């Protein structure tokens, strides 16, 4: 009996640890959103990256993981830092300042759509029936989330005149490319490219150590740009904001990435990546509870469709009639 109890507790603990990275990523999005009114996006992005990278390198040193050697290793780490560090976190922070935490997390976690297409193109990995269905649903879901509602209603009812009389894509009345949703899409694309790059990076150096260095090297430019373009980066930050930033840095970055790569290195990548869709769910739940964020009806429909599409792409190997190889997707 005692053995069964211990075994049950061990399974429960393992399940909680497996879910932890996605819980931490989702709630970190909410924590960052609460701090934004008192700081600046690029400064906050650097705070989330650089200290977390230092922590990962310290832990990696205690674990006996080797530092990068050779110019090829540093070249790939540098490219990884620009794409998955500077661009991803920069777009993420700027987009989060213009949209909600839950909505932003949904759009960030649409990156498996881009990963699937890039892997199909670069590595000739077949997407399959369920994968293509997921991609199609993802396009529909993201459109419902990010496009101006005037455009959506005009598409559904072409003859109906909406409140907007100008449908020019670049018109200031519909600032599509300045909206938080589309900045989040750019962040998702950067994250997808980073997911592809880690395959090349890991050929030349330890992936955990590379993760730490790419956070540091990717975060420093964000602080540099912030020093030129932003003002009052920390003067208005409250004590509670520093607690939230610490949470996003230590738990939402260092520990979340550390747990993710630990499970990935022990062969649980399939189970781990299938839980990707939980990240926006946690962000939506806690965004509603802590920040009182509300989505429109159309956006909720888009959220549901996007989550379904992400699930189909991550689980397509396990669905009936699917024998394709799984495209591995990594969250950050």
pLDDT tens digits for 173-202? Answer: 445 445 677 788 888 888 888 878 877 888
Domain contains 12? no
d(CA 131, CA 207): 27
Domain contains 124? yes
Instruction: Give pLDDT, residue 167.
Output: 41
- Predicted structure pTM score: 0.73
By C-alpha distance, which of 291, 327, 230 is closest to 27? 291
Instruction: Give pLDDT, residue 223.
Output: 95
Domain contains 324? no
Domain contains 10? no
Provide, rounded to the nearest whole percent, the portion of the chain with pLDDT above 90: 23
Q: State mean pLDDT over 42-65.
A: 92
Domain that holds residue 176: 24-159+167-317
Domain contains 8? no
Q: In the structure, what pLDDT confidence band is assigned to residue 98 with cuts at 50, 70 and 90?
A: confident
Number of domains observed in the structure of the chain: 1
Q: Show the DSSP H helices in 85-148 as ranges.
A: 88-96, 101-108, 111-123, 128-146
Name which residue leads in pLDDT, 102 or 297: 297
Instruction: Give pLDDT, residue 54.
Output: 95
To 10 degrees, what angle do helices 207-229 and 256-265 make?
A: 150
Q: In the structure, what pLDDT confidence band is assigned to residue 31 with cuts at 50, 70 and 90?
A: confident
d(CA 252, CA 299): 26
pLDDT tens digits for 202-259? Answer: 889 898 899 899 999 999 999 999 999 998 889 899 999 999 999 999 999 998 877 7
Domain contains 237? yes
Question: What is residue 332's three-state secondary structure?
Answer: coil
Domain contains 250? yes
By C-alpha distance, which of 327, 269, 331, 330 is closest to 124? 327
Q: State mean pLDDT over 152-156.
A: 65
Q: Is the pLDDT of residue 80 over 60?
A: yes
Domain contains 332? no
């Amino acid at each position: 009996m005692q053995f069964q109890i211990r075994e049950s507790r061990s399974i429960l603990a393992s399940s909680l640890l497996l879910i932890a990275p996605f819980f931490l990523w989702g709630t970190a999005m909410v924590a960052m959103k609460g701090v934004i009114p008192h700081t600046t996006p690029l400064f906050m992005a650097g705070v989330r990256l650089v200290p977390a990278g230092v922590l990962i390198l310290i832990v990696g040193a205690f674990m006996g993981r080797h530092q990068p050697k050779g110019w090829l290793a540093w070249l790939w780490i540098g490219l990884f830092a620009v794409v998955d560090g500077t661009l991803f976190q920069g777009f993420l922070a700027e987009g989060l300042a213009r949209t909600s935490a839950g909505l932003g997390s949904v759009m960030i976690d649409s990156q498996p759509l881009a990963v699937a297409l890039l892997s199909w193109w670069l590595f000739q990995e077949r997407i399959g029936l369920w994968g293509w269905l997921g991609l199609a649903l993802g396009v529909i879901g993201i459109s419902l989330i990010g496009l101006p509602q005037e455009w959506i209603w005009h598409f559904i009812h072409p003859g109906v005149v909406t409140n907007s009389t100008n449908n020019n894509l670049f018109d200031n009345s519909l600032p599509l490319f300045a909206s938080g949703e589309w900045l989040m899409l750019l962040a998702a694309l950067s994250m997808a490219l980073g997911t592809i790059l880690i395959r090349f990076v890991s050929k030349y150096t330890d992936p955990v150590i590379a993760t730490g260095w790419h956070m540091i090297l990717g975060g420093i430019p964000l602080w540099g740009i912030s020093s030129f373009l932003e003002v009052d980066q920390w003067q208005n930050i409250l004590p509670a904001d520093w607690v939230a930033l610490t949470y996003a840095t230590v738990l939402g970055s260092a520990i979340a990435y550390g747990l993710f790569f630990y499970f990935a290195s022990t062969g649980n990548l399939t189970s781990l990546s299938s839980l990707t869709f939980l990240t926006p769910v946690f962000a939506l739940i806690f965004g509603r509870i802590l920040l009182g964020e509300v989505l429109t009806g159309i956006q909720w429909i888009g959220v549901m469709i996007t989550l379904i599409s992400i699930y189909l792409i991550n689980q397509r190997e396990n669905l009936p009639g699917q024998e394709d190889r799984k495209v591995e997707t990594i969250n950050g």
